[in-house]
Amino acid sequence: MINVHKVSKRFNGTNAVNEVSFEVQEGETLILLGTSGCGKTTTLRMINRLTEPSSGAISIDGKSILTLNPETLRRSIGYVLQGNGLFPHYTVAENIAIVPKLLNWDKLKILHRTQELLDKFALPYKEFAGAYPSELSGGQQQRVGLARALAANPPVLLMDEPFGALDPITRSDVRKEFKELDELKKRTIVMVTHDVQEAIELGSRICLMDKGRIMQIGTKTDLMLQPANEVVTKFFNHYRNAVADAYRQLPANN
Protein backbone atom coordinates (compact mmCIF):
# COMPACT_ATOMS: atom_id res chain seq x y z
CA MET A 1 0.00 0.00 0.00
CA ILE A 2 2.67 2.53 1.11
CA ASN A 3 6.30 2.07 0.09
CA VAL A 4 9.03 4.35 1.44
CA HIS A 5 12.43 3.64 -0.15
CA LYS A 6 15.71 5.18 1.00
CA VAL A 7 14.08 8.51 1.77
CA SER A 8 16.17 11.32 3.24
CA LYS A 9 15.42 14.90 4.23
CA ARG A 10 18.13 17.49 4.70
CA PHE A 11 17.77 20.79 6.52
CA ASN A 12 20.70 23.22 6.29
CA GLY A 13 23.00 20.44 5.16
CA THR A 14 22.06 18.05 7.98
CA ASN A 15 20.01 14.88 7.50
CA ALA A 16 16.94 14.97 9.74
CA VAL A 17 15.89 11.70 8.07
CA ASN A 18 18.55 9.43 6.64
CA GLU A 19 17.74 6.74 4.04
CA VAL A 20 14.57 5.49 5.71
CA SER A 21 12.82 2.51 4.09
CA PHE A 22 9.64 0.67 5.07
CA GLU A 23 6.40 -0.74 3.69
CA VAL A 24 2.92 -0.50 5.17
CA GLN A 25 0.44 -3.16 4.10
CA GLU A 26 -3.21 -2.42 3.42
CA GLY A 27 -5.19 -2.33 6.67
CA GLU A 28 -2.06 -2.20 8.84
CA THR A 29 -1.25 0.34 11.55
CA LEU A 30 2.45 1.20 11.58
CA ILE A 31 3.68 3.26 14.53
CA LEU A 32 6.67 5.57 14.07
CA LEU A 33 8.09 5.62 17.58
CA GLY A 34 10.95 7.54 19.10
CA THR A 35 12.05 10.49 21.18
CA SER A 36 11.68 14.13 20.07
CA GLY A 37 13.92 15.02 17.15
CA CYS A 38 14.37 11.46 15.87
CA GLY A 39 12.79 12.25 12.46
CA LYS A 40 9.43 10.52 12.86
CA THR A 41 7.20 13.54 12.15
CA THR A 42 9.35 14.62 9.19
CA THR A 43 9.01 11.09 7.81
CA LEU A 44 5.24 11.19 8.22
CA ARG A 45 4.94 14.61 6.56
CA MET A 46 6.88 13.40 3.52
CA ILE A 47 4.19 10.79 2.80
CA ASN A 48 1.63 13.49 1.94
CA ARG A 49 4.22 16.00 0.71
CA LEU A 50 3.76 18.52 3.47
CA THR A 51 7.53 18.14 3.53
CA GLU A 52 9.27 17.30 0.26
CA PRO A 53 11.93 14.56 0.43
CA SER A 54 15.48 15.49 -0.50
CA SER A 55 16.06 12.05 -2.00
CA GLY A 56 14.50 8.61 -2.23
CA ALA A 57 11.05 7.50 -3.38
CA ILE A 58 7.59 7.17 -1.84
CA SER A 59 4.69 5.41 -3.53
CA ILE A 60 1.09 4.65 -2.60
CA ASP A 61 -0.61 1.75 -4.40
CA GLY A 62 2.37 1.56 -6.72
CA LYS A 63 2.13 5.21 -7.83
CA SER A 64 4.87 7.69 -6.98
CA ILE A 65 3.53 10.56 -4.88
CA LEU A 66 5.70 12.93 -6.95
CA THR A 67 3.49 12.28 -9.98
CA LEU A 68 0.46 13.64 -8.14
CA ASN A 69 -0.55 17.22 -7.50
CA PRO A 70 0.18 17.84 -3.78
CA GLU A 71 -3.33 19.17 -3.08
CA THR A 72 -4.94 16.21 -4.83
CA LEU A 73 -2.69 13.82 -2.89
CA ARG A 74 -3.57 15.41 0.47
CA ARG A 75 -7.30 15.28 -0.21
CA SER A 76 -6.99 11.51 -0.68
CA ILE A 77 -5.17 11.02 2.64
CA GLY A 78 -6.64 11.66 6.08
CA TYR A 79 -4.40 13.71 8.37
CA VAL A 80 -4.80 14.12 12.14
CA LEU A 81 -2.68 16.60 14.07
CA GLN A 82 -1.76 16.90 17.72
CA GLY A 83 -4.18 19.40 19.20
CA ASN A 84 -6.78 18.51 16.50
CA GLY A 85 -6.11 21.51 14.20
CA LEU A 86 -9.80 22.47 13.98
CA PHE A 87 -10.76 25.82 12.48
CA PRO A 88 -12.05 27.81 15.49
CA HIS A 89 -14.56 29.90 13.53
CA TYR A 90 -16.11 26.87 11.82
CA THR A 91 -18.79 24.77 13.48
CA VAL A 92 -18.23 21.07 14.07
CA ALA A 93 -20.24 20.22 10.94
CA GLU A 94 -18.34 22.80 8.86
CA ASN A 95 -14.98 21.42 10.03
CA ILE A 96 -15.96 17.88 9.09
CA ALA A 97 -17.26 19.00 5.67
CA ILE A 98 -14.05 20.71 4.51
CA VAL A 99 -12.56 17.95 2.34
CA PRO A 100 -15.91 16.63 0.98
CA LYS A 101 -16.69 20.19 -0.18
CA LEU A 102 -13.29 20.43 -1.90
CA LEU A 103 -14.14 17.14 -3.63
CA ASN A 104 -17.48 18.62 -4.77
CA TRP A 105 -19.72 16.26 -2.85
CA ASP A 106 -23.37 17.30 -2.93
CA LYS A 107 -24.89 18.79 0.22
CA LEU A 108 -27.07 15.80 1.05
CA LYS A 109 -24.13 13.38 0.83
CA ILE A 110 -22.06 15.65 3.10
CA LEU A 111 -24.93 15.88 5.59
CA HIS A 112 -25.37 12.10 5.73
CA ARG A 113 -21.63 11.51 6.16
CA THR A 114 -21.38 14.14 8.90
CA GLN A 115 -24.31 12.64 10.78
CA GLU A 116 -22.87 9.16 10.42
CA LEU A 117 -19.45 10.14 11.78
CA LEU A 118 -20.77 12.17 14.69
CA ASP A 119 -22.99 9.27 15.73
CA LYS A 120 -20.04 6.86 15.56
CA PHE A 121 -17.96 9.19 17.72
CA ALA A 122 -20.75 9.50 20.32
CA LEU A 123 -21.34 13.16 19.45
CA PRO A 124 -25.07 13.38 18.57
CA TYR A 125 -25.59 15.51 15.46
CA LYS A 126 -28.38 17.67 16.89
CA GLU A 127 -26.27 18.57 19.91
CA PHE A 128 -22.83 19.01 18.36
CA ALA A 129 -23.15 19.89 14.65
CA GLY A 130 -23.62 23.60 15.34
CA ALA A 131 -21.14 23.83 18.19
CA TYR A 132 -17.76 25.55 17.86
CA PRO A 133 -14.46 23.92 18.89
CA SER A 134 -14.09 26.22 21.91
CA GLU A 135 -17.34 24.79 23.30
CA LEU A 136 -15.99 21.22 23.30
CA SER A 137 -13.78 19.34 25.72
CA GLY A 138 -10.31 18.26 24.61
CA GLY A 139 -11.48 14.70 23.99
CA GLN A 140 -14.46 15.90 21.96
CA GLN A 141 -12.25 18.17 19.87
CA GLN A 142 -9.92 15.27 19.11
CA ARG A 143 -12.88 13.11 18.05
CA VAL A 144 -14.03 15.85 15.68
CA GLY A 145 -10.49 16.13 14.28
CA LEU A 146 -10.48 12.41 13.60
CA ALA A 147 -13.97 12.59 12.06
CA ARG A 148 -12.78 15.38 9.76
CA ALA A 149 -9.82 13.26 8.63
CA LEU A 150 -12.17 10.35 7.85
CA ALA A 151 -14.94 12.39 6.21
CA ALA A 152 -14.05 11.61 2.59
CA ASN A 153 -13.35 7.92 3.29
CA PRO A 154 -9.59 8.06 2.62
CA PRO A 155 -7.87 4.67 2.39
CA VAL A 156 -4.77 6.09 4.13
CA LEU A 157 -4.71 7.92 7.46
CA LEU A 158 -1.67 9.77 8.83
CA MET A 159 -1.69 10.68 12.52
CA ASP A 160 0.90 12.94 14.16
CA GLU A 161 0.81 12.57 17.97
CA PRO A 162 -3.02 12.59 17.76
CA PHE A 163 -3.59 12.19 21.49
CA GLY A 164 -0.57 14.15 22.72
CA ALA A 165 -2.47 17.25 23.86
CA LEU A 166 -4.96 15.31 26.00
CA ASP A 167 -4.73 14.73 29.73
CA PRO A 168 -3.78 11.14 30.72
CA ILE A 169 -7.30 9.97 31.61
CA THR A 170 -8.91 11.41 28.46
CA ARG A 171 -6.02 10.08 26.39
CA SER A 172 -6.59 6.56 27.69
CA ASP A 173 -10.34 6.77 26.99
CA VAL A 174 -9.85 8.07 23.43
CA ARG A 175 -7.28 5.34 22.73
CA LYS A 176 -9.83 2.70 23.74
CA GLU A 177 -12.39 4.24 21.39
CA PHE A 178 -9.78 4.33 18.64
CA LYS A 179 -9.14 0.58 18.94
CA GLU A 180 -12.84 -0.26 18.74
CA LEU A 181 -13.91 2.11 15.95
CA ASP A 182 -14.93 0.21 12.82
CA GLU A 183 -14.14 3.28 10.66
CA LEU A 184 -10.45 2.71 11.41
CA LYS A 185 -10.29 -1.05 10.95
CA LYS A 186 -10.37 -0.73 7.16
CA ARG A 187 -7.75 2.03 6.94
CA THR A 188 -4.01 1.87 6.35
CA ILE A 189 -2.58 3.99 9.16
CA VAL A 190 0.82 5.52 9.88
CA MET A 191 0.94 7.10 13.32
CA VAL A 192 3.67 9.08 15.07
CA THR A 193 4.04 8.89 18.84
CA HIS A 194 6.71 9.07 21.53
CA ASP A 195 4.40 7.12 23.88
CA VAL A 196 5.51 3.49 24.20
CA GLN A 197 2.23 2.41 25.78
CA GLU A 198 0.31 3.93 22.86
CA ALA A 199 2.55 2.17 20.33
CA ILE A 200 2.08 -1.23 21.96
CA GLU A 201 -1.69 -0.86 22.31
CA LEU A 202 -2.41 0.48 18.80
CA GLY A 203 0.29 -0.72 16.41
CA SER A 204 0.28 -3.75 14.14
CA ARG A 205 4.01 -3.09 13.87
CA ILE A 206 6.37 -0.56 15.42
CA CYS A 207 9.16 1.33 13.65
CA LEU A 208 11.63 2.64 16.22
CA MET A 209 13.65 5.65 15.00
CA ASP A 210 16.70 7.37 16.43
CA LYS A 211 18.72 10.28 14.99
CA GLY A 212 16.94 10.13 11.64
CA ARG A 213 17.43 6.41 11.10
CA ILE A 214 15.33 3.30 11.62
CA MET A 215 16.70 1.15 14.40
CA GLN A 216 14.22 -1.72 14.01
CA ILE A 217 10.81 -2.50 12.51
CA GLY A 218 8.68 -5.36 13.76
CA THR A 219 5.92 -6.41 16.11
CA LYS A 220 6.04 -5.29 19.73
CA THR A 221 7.27 -8.79 20.60
CA ASP A 222 10.09 -8.57 18.03
CA LEU A 223 11.39 -5.29 19.40
CA MET A 224 11.22 -6.28 23.06
CA LEU A 225 12.37 -9.90 22.87
CA GLN A 226 14.68 -9.71 19.85
CA PRO A 227 16.11 -6.17 19.84
CA ALA A 228 18.26 -5.45 16.81
CA ASN A 229 20.81 -3.36 18.69
CA GLU A 230 21.66 -1.62 21.96
CA VAL A 231 19.57 1.46 21.09
CA VAL A 232 16.41 -0.66 20.93
CA THR A 233 17.30 -2.48 24.14
CA LYS A 234 17.95 0.75 26.05
CA PHE A 235 14.79 2.40 24.73
CA PHE A 236 12.46 -0.34 25.94
CA ASN A 237 14.35 -0.81 29.19
CA HIS A 238 13.96 2.90 29.89
CA TYR A 239 10.18 2.65 29.41
CA ARG A 240 9.71 -0.78 30.98
CA ASN A 241 6.96 0.43 33.37
CA ALA A 242 4.95 1.87 30.46
CA VAL A 243 5.49 -1.37 28.54
CA ALA A 244 4.13 -3.41 31.47
CA ASP A 245 1.11 -1.10 31.72
CA ALA A 246 0.44 -1.43 27.99
CA TYR A 247 0.48 -5.24 28.15
CA ARG A 248 -2.02 -5.17 31.00
CA GLN A 249 -4.38 -3.21 28.72
CA LEU A 250 -4.20 -5.73 25.85
CA PRO A 251 -6.77 -8.50 25.37
CA ALA A 252 -5.60 -11.97 26.46
CA ASN A 253 -5.10 -13.18 22.86
CA ASN A 254 -2.55 -10.42 22.13
Average pLDDT over residues 50-77: 95
Residue 181 has pLDDT above 80, yes or no: yes
134, HSE (Cβ side, Cα atoms, 13 Å)? 3
Encode burial over 87-97: b for 16+ CB neighbours within 10 A, e otherwise.
eeeebbbbbbb
Average pLDDT over residues 112-133: 95
What's the pLDDT score for residue 53?
A: 96
If pLDDT is split at 50, 70 and 90, which confidence band does 17 have?
very high
pLDDT one-digit tens code per residue, 136-175: 998 899 889 999 999 999 999 999 988 876 777 777 777 7
pLDDT one-digit tens code per residue, 205-253: 999 999 999 999 999 999 989 999 999 999 988 777 666 666 666 766 5
What pTM was estimated for this model as a whole?
0.90
